[in-house]
Structure 1
Amino acid sequence: MSEMPFAATTPVSVARVGLKARDAEALAKFYRDVVGLEELSRGGETISLGAGGKPLLEIEAEPAAKPDDPRSAGLFHTAFLLPTRTDLARWVKHAIEKRIPVSGASDHLVSEALYLNDPEGNGIEIYADRPRDTWLWNGSSVEMATQRLDIDGLIAAMPAGDAGWRGAPENSVVGHVHLRVGDPVVAEDWWREEFGFDTVARYGTDAVFLSSGGYHHHIGANRWQSAGAGMRDPGRAGLSWVEMRSSETRSERTVQDPWGTAVRVVPGKA
């Protein structure tokens, strides 16, 4: 069995993400069939999915909700981190065989990633980290880029006779969450003050990346589509909440970011 990814071992990490869905059944099917999550439980209007018995995503049915607005504050993508590069190669081969549409494929130097959208427009990243000792740091800033992903090289690295994709393996986690915000500077200040995060990278004035414990990023915040966005409309589908796990807290609490996104905090490590 693979080890728990470094992203989940830091003092603060992402635990789960909650989505509000107009069609919860269709959304749950997508995350089972495409992302490879397993259904763990149902309760009322909520479906819990995860990997290796660990909950990672909660889908809340709200059929009357308005569609998400990509120009508003909310979710840019939920990033599912697979334990190994071979796991990512298996998913890529599966996506090719099943003709799963993807919106991007990038080598970020610290990681390799594929991007897609679920049926309600929520962004998804499926990725694997490169070994931590290969990440390049300039002081407190990590070197990240967006380069073309070598799909052929990734698949070629799979062992001969590999059994292929069998769903998200044990120790898959939500490695990071990337948010749409009205102002990345405001977001940066909030995450630094509320969670003690370190700023590890900036893309000009439009995006910022923050982390705990030397990870390349647990939270991204950008204004690429949402510059100047105000408070979120609670009547829209999309992101419902983000849950952070912290070894520095002893009780559960919920806070709101400057755009009204609920951020839950739970004690403990992954």
Structure 2
Amino acid sequence: MTEKPLLPAGTTIGRTALRVGELESMLEFYRDVVGLAVQTRGDHRATLGVDDTPLLELYRDETARPRAHAQAGLFHNAFALPSRAALGGALERVRADWRLDGASDHFVSEALYLTDPEDNGVELYVDKPKTVWPRRDDGTVEIGTVPLDLDTLLTQSDGSSEVPADTTVGHVHLEVTSLEAARAFYVDALGVTVQTSVSSALFLAAGDYHHHLGLNTWNGRTEPAGGRGLAWFEFVVPAGTLETVREHLAEADVSVTERGDGVELTDPDGTSVRIRTPS
């Protein structure tokens, strides 16, 4: 692993972007079910988020084929809500207008799972207080899975049609073709910490969060990412650290493309990763 972690403590996930075939139905889902506000909208692009903070970009590309079963790519986008009341409100919206795929208590968080109109996974979750997160002797976080009590959650619903203003993209979970290659890129080169390792999956974080990035091989993907689905996601590093990140990338011999607000790189499965500082 690099001696100087490329992504420092304080790094978060910023926006994610999806390449879509049908913009209107996707916009309606993320507005009406997830509860994001539409910030910009055009014939081929829409931005959704909270207040003035963009969280999700949708790009319409009619030529992009649906993601093939063998292709790597997005497992789910995970929107972190600030309270159980907000998660209860999300559950009400899902039950009224969509379908729930699953719900779990992960010891560190409580989560709802669903699938958008173009088969992208979505997680809506609320973190438990960090003081109750179970930790191993080495300080890493223990993540588990037990059923979530939905009836109790509904009694705490805020009844809102939108997520609160302090909602974020808490983490992104990817399906990869090789856990070893993905680990070499994200852990050994970028210096992101392994918080939890389970059967055919890794959960990684910058700092001591339970995870900013999930990686798994559960569905046996064998081909690079492509077509509809995840176009890119971004890490947001603390202000004043981007130049250090550039230096660490050069030391780790990671190829990058300069962008106006940061840099872009590509993981072993062809997934685009952007790094920038806060806007």
Give the C-alpha shift of residue 203 in structure 1: 1.0
**Counterpart check, 1:244 vs 2:235:** yes
Q: Report 1:54-133 matches (<5 A).
A: 54-96=53-95, 98-133=96-131
The residue aligned with 1:172 is: 167
After superposition, give the CA deviation of every residue in 1:174-232 in whole Å (9 maximum; x if it has no partner).
0000000011222122112443210000113x1000001100000000011134x2323
**Counterpart check, 1:147 vs 2:146:** yes
Q: Report 1:1-270 matches (<5 A).
A: 10-42=9-41, 45-96=44-95, 98-138=96-136, 139-158=138-157, 164-204=159-199, 206-227=200-221, 229-233=222-226, 236-247=227-238, 248-250=241-243, 252-268=262-278
Determine the C-alpha separation between the residues in 1 that align with 2:161 and 2:263. 36
Give the C-alpha shift of residue 140 in structure 1: 3.5
* Structure 2 residue identity aligned to 1:169: P
Give the C-alpha shift of residue 169 in structure 1: 0.9
Worse-matched range after superposition: 134-143 or 53-62: 134-143
**Contact 2:70–2:223, Cα closer than 8 Å, also in 1:** no
Paired residues, what number? 252
Determine the C-alpha separation between the residues in 1 that align with 2:119 and 2:75. 10
* Structure 1 residue identity aligned to 2:223: G
Determine the C-alpha separation between the residues in 1 that align with 2:89 and 2:156. 10
Q: Helix, strand or coil for the counterpart of 1:137?
A: coil
Percent of pairs identical after alignment? 37
* Structure 1 residue identity aligned to 2:232: W
RMSD: 1.8
* Structure 2 residue identity aligned to 1:219: L
In structure 1, stretches of 5+ residues that fail to align are 1-8
* Structure 2 residue identity aligned to 1:18: A
Q: Helix, strand or coil for the counterpart of 2:242?
A: coil
Distance 1:71 1:140, change over 3 A: farther
Determine the C-alpha separation between the residues in 2 that align with 1:118 and 1:29. 10
Determine the C-alpha separation between the residues in 1 that align with 2:145 and 2:115. 19
Give the C-alpha shift of residue 44 in structure 1: 6.1
Worse-matched range after superposition: 137-146 or 52-61: 137-146
**Contact 1:52–1:169, Cα closer than 8 Å, also in 2:** no
Determine the C-alpha separation between the residues in 2 that align with 1:203 and 1:99. 34
**TM-score, length-scaled by structure 1:** 0.88
Determine the C-alpha separation between the residues in 1 that align with 2:217 and 2:127. 25
Give the C-alpha shift of residue 76 in structure 1: 0.2
Determine the C-alpha separation between the residues in 2 that align with 1:15 and 1:99. 27
In structure 2, stretches of 5+ residues that fail to align are 1-7, 244-260
Q: Helix, strand or coil for the counterpart of 2:94?
A: helix
